[in-house]
Amino acid sequence: MEQNDFGHIRIKVDELIKAKGISKNKVAHRAEMQRTQLNQYCNNEITRLDTAVLARLCTALECKIEDILEFVPSTNGKE
């Protein structure tokens, strides 16, 4: 079976944290999440997105979901 490359979702939490000048500890506290979990989002190591966590991150970072997530289309040349 041929595997299709549909692109991927890039998580931009780390960029947003740096742009806002907020510490990861403060974001983790505001979003009520463990620092290790936040680091997974910052390092794009998440395979399944949790909408509740995304909502907490949006609240903690005072941003919209499109500020956190970006769709990166496939680069395999198919239309």
* Range 31-60 average pLDDT: 95
- Residue 61 CA to residue 17 CA, distance in Å, equals 7
Residues 74, 6: contact at Cβ < 8 Å? yes
The per-residue pLDDT for 1 is 43
The per-residue pLDDT for 34 is 96
68 token code pair:
């956190």
What confidence tens digit (pLDDT) does each residue in 4-27 have?
Answer: 688 989 999 999 999 999 999 999
pTM, entire model: 0.84
* Range 44-54 average pLDDT: 93
Q: For domain 15-72, give the CATH number.
A: 1.10.260.40
- Residue 46 CA to residue 71 CA, distance in Å, equals 15
Distances (CA, A) of 43 to 27, 38, 59, 63: 15, 9, 20, 19
What residues does each domain of the chain span?
15-72
